[in-house]
Structure 1
């Protein structure tokens, strides 16, 4: 089956049990989303999806986290292991995909999605908000151990994305540095961090952050 978008998802600020302030993690399917480069994490537009809420702009949003994609197959895997159905958007993703190898994507890989062009920038790091939203025991540890996080994407060519739009991988760098490798480096694997830094494949801000973290 050709890779495609199963649903496009956006959210408004809503309370999360156990947190003092609302969050934009509650994403629900909508008919269409408009995506664009939101600019810098601080001082920019937040989400790359027009009308989508990003509350904590210190950690979320900005050019290299403009759009978040999760494979429906991964939601189904978790649903089976958690013993509950996980709706599209449950992980806070803007794109729920079918038939796309999201979690083996290389850093810098480019996807043509409908009329847009998106670039894979990095993995999702689980946080307290995600854990409260999921309401599952030891969620951050379990998610990190699984290591298949979905993909944060930059918007190279803006436009509209709808459910059913095809997804085509139009560029794969070939360096083999995939999202799970990057995630393990972010989680403290110094050898993998050194490999990523030496390869110079990360966006500039992320390269600088990983370099500082490794020092």
Structure 2
């Protein structure tokens, strides 16, 4: 179930940004995680939103990761945890949604937003840039432990969207594999790699990742140990 009952399913805000240099832990970094709200409508291109650019295109953006969505409900949960309010876009998301349970979003589910059509491809996996954004190098692991990853989406049909647009969900794929299922495997809470192949709409890089994970499992079994969970890709 990805819709929160009795809550309008909408995009509350749209954020974009580009690479900028910042000091972090005694060295300069370049990141696009700091994004800013857009007041009007935004063009949705195959690999990105208009005005949004990735600092590291090998790890972020592209066909399978064109748009990042995070739920306002999850931001509110974090605000309570952290003890201060969080603005839309705090975690670098392009779309801040309301009324969607993104943690249990089904991989491959289609969203119609404005005149664009998007498809859920994977959970967001936290990296060190979230540590910079939150001023806490340990925050990526804290984010992983919270199991509120948000999702990434590919663009099936280009168009335009904006704040206040309704999100219309198409019938989810029958396989029922969710962002939470992929997250559990990623964090080594589950060794059931069959979920990777069961969701054909999953971002392509997960197949390569699953091949590496199989090798790791074999090494662990030979050594009689279990690898610790991690939020680092």
Same fold (TM over 0.5): yes
Equivalence for 2:196: 197
| Structure 2: tracts of 5 or more residues without a match | 1-6, 216-233
For residues 12-40 of structure 1, the C-alpha deviation after alignment (integer angstroms, 9 at most, x for no partner) is 322344152321100111022211212xx
Query: What's the secondary structure of 2:92's corresponding residue?
Result: coil
Separation of aligned partners in 1, 2:140 and 2:187: 12
| Structure 1: tracts of 5 or more residues without a match | 39-47
For residues 125-160 of structure 1, the C-alpha deviation after alignment (integer angstroms, 9 at most, x for no partner) is 111111111113621111111111101000001111
Change (3 A) 1:53 1:197: closer
Separation of aligned partners in 1, 2:46 and 2:212: 26
Contact 1:70–1:97 at 8 Å: present in 2 too? yes
Q: Report which of the two structures shows the higher radius of gyration computed on alpha carbons.
A: 2
> What is the aligned length?
205
Equivalence for 2:90: 90
Shift of 1:200: 4.5
Query: What's the secondary structure of 2:161's corresponding residue?
Result: strand
Query: What's the secondary structure of 1:149's corresponding residue?
Result: coil
Q: TM-score with structure 1 length normalisation?
A: 0.89
Change (3 A) 1:15 1:86: farther
Equivalence for 1:7: 13
Change (3 A) 1:20 1:214: farther
For residues 44-95 of structure 1, the C-alpha deviation after alignment (integer angstroms, 9 at most, x for no partner) is xxxx112212001121111111000000010011011101111111100000
Separation of aligned partners in 2, 1:128 and 1:97: 24
Equivalence for 2:178: 178
Separation of aligned partners in 2, 1:59 and 1:179: 18
Shift of 1:190: 5.0
Root-mean-square deviation over aligned CA pairs: 1.6
Separation of aligned partners in 2, 1:211 and 1:13: 32
Contact 1:197–1:211 at 8 Å: present in 2 too? no
Equivalence for 1:128: 128
Matches of residues 79-158 of structure 1 in structure 2 within 5 Å? 79-136=79-136, 138-158=138-158
Contact 1:9–1:33 at 8 Å: present in 2 too? no
Query: What's the secondary structure of 1:97's corresponding residue?
Result: strand
